[in-house]
């Protein structure tokens, strides 16, 4: 087993890289939960609505645990969670907008949530103690997300040509920002690999493509041919753009925050 990371021994760029990694994982989890929550009403069945509601709760719980890790790198999570503008969010760009149809959220459940799990798997196997102890339970919960995603993906892929077309289009749209996010190989990402905090972007991308290859082939998308988006923003660990304002207001809890007595 690798020796635990001593954050005190990280230099400035090392601490900044760990901060960036934690934040982009937490923000992506928060936004994944927001996108699931868009479908609490409107899912194809009561059971599907209950499942996606529960998955939204899972994601928010994961986000909360990840935000709490920011204390280790001298960042106060409360301000991060409740005061940032949309432009400062570091969530994967594939979650910036709501999904207009069930095929879209199924594609996100498959393409985006799986990428988050692969990234978390790498994080959980690294030297950062909080990730090693807290992330495995998240991954266990994510197994049910992946099961539901695959079941629905296969079901829609095998249904009408219209539904399959929606799934194909959504898959093709989501893959480039996800591949850019998971495959980031900039200076900060390399520092995290050198410090043993997470797996290399190359190995994570290979795992990710292998996990989804057969599924995306069902809608004639060759995941090996999919390419990452350009316009990488090193400061935010994501591509261009930011989540829509409505989602961020919900993520921050703006509407009723004044009622919160602390």
Partner 1 sequence: MIERVYDVFARKHRGDQLSHIGYVDALDDEMARVYAWKTYDEENWFEMCVIRRRNIIPVNRQDNPFSGSEGDDG
Name the site residues for partner 1 (rule: CB under 8 A): 45-48, 50-51, 53-55, 144, 147-148, 150-152, 155, 159
Report the nearest approach of partner 1 to the CB of residue 151 (Å). Answer: 4
Nearer of residues 159 and 227 to partner 1, judged by Cβ: 159
Report the nearest approach of partner 1 to the CB of residue 170 (Å). Answer: 18
Q: What is the DSSP letter of 93?
A: G
Secondary structure class of 238 (helix, strand, coil)? strand
Nearer of residues 35 and 238 to partner 1, judged by Cβ: 35
Nearest CA to 25 out of 204, 187, 149, 167 is that of: 204
Q: Are 217 and 128 in contact (CB under 8 A)?
A: no
Report the nearest approach of partner 1 to the CB of residue 155 (Å). Answer: 6
Nearer of residues 6 and 47 to partner 1, judged by Cβ: 47
Report the nearest approach of partner 1 to the CB of residue 123 (Å). Answer: 24
Nearer of residues 51 and 112 to partner 1, judged by Cβ: 51
Nearer of residues 147 and 224 to partner 1, judged by Cβ: 147
Report the nearest approach of partner 1 to the CB of residue 158 (Å). Answer: 10
* Helices and strands: H and E segment counts in the chain: 9, 0
CB burial readout 28-47, b (16+ within 10 A) else e: bbbbbbbbbbbbeeebeeee
DSSP 181-208: HHT--SHHHHHHHHTTSS--HHHHHHHH
Nearer of residues 148 and 226 to partner 1, judged by Cβ: 148
Report the nearest approach of partner 1 to the CB of residue 53 (Å). Answer: 8
What the block records as the tokens of 236 is 């935010």
Q: Where are the beta strands (DSSP E) in the chain?
A: none
Q: Are 234 and 181 in contact (CB under 8 A)?
A: no
Distance CA 138, CA 257 (A): 27
């Amino acid at each position: 087993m690798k020796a635990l990371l001593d954050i005190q021994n990280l230099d400035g760029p090392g601490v900044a890289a760990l901060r960036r990694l934690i934040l982009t994982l937490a923000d992506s989890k928060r936004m994944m939960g927001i996108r699931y929550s868009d479908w609490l009403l409107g899912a194809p069945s009561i059971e599907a609505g209950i499942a996606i509601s529960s998955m939204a709760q899972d994601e928010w719980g994961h986000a909360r645990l990840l935000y709490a890790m920011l204390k280790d790198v001298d960042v106060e999570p409360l301000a991060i969670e409740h005061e940032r503008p949309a432009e400062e969010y570091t969530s994967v760009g594939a979650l910036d907008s709501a999904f207009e149809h069930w095929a879209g959220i199924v594609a996100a459940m498959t393409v985006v949530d799986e990428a988050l799990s692969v990234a978390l798997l790498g994080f959980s196997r690294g030297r950062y103690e909080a990730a090693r102890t807290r992330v495995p339970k998240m991954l266990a919960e994510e197994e049910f997300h992946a099961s539901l995603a695959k079941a629905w993906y296969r079901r829609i892929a095998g249904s009408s040509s219209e539904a399959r077309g929606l799934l194909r289009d959504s898959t093709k749209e989501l893959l480039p920002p996800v591949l850019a996010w998971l495959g980031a190989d900039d200076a900060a990402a390399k520092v995290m690999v050198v410090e043993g905090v997470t797996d290399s972007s190359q190995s994570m991308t290979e795992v990710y493509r292998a996990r989804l290859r057969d599924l995306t082939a069902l809608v004639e998308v060759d995941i090996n041919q999919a390419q990452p988006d350009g316009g990488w923003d090193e400061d935010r660990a994501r591509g261009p753009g930011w989540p829509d304002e409505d989602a961020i207001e919900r993520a921050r809890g703006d509407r009723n925050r004044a009622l919160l007595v602390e």
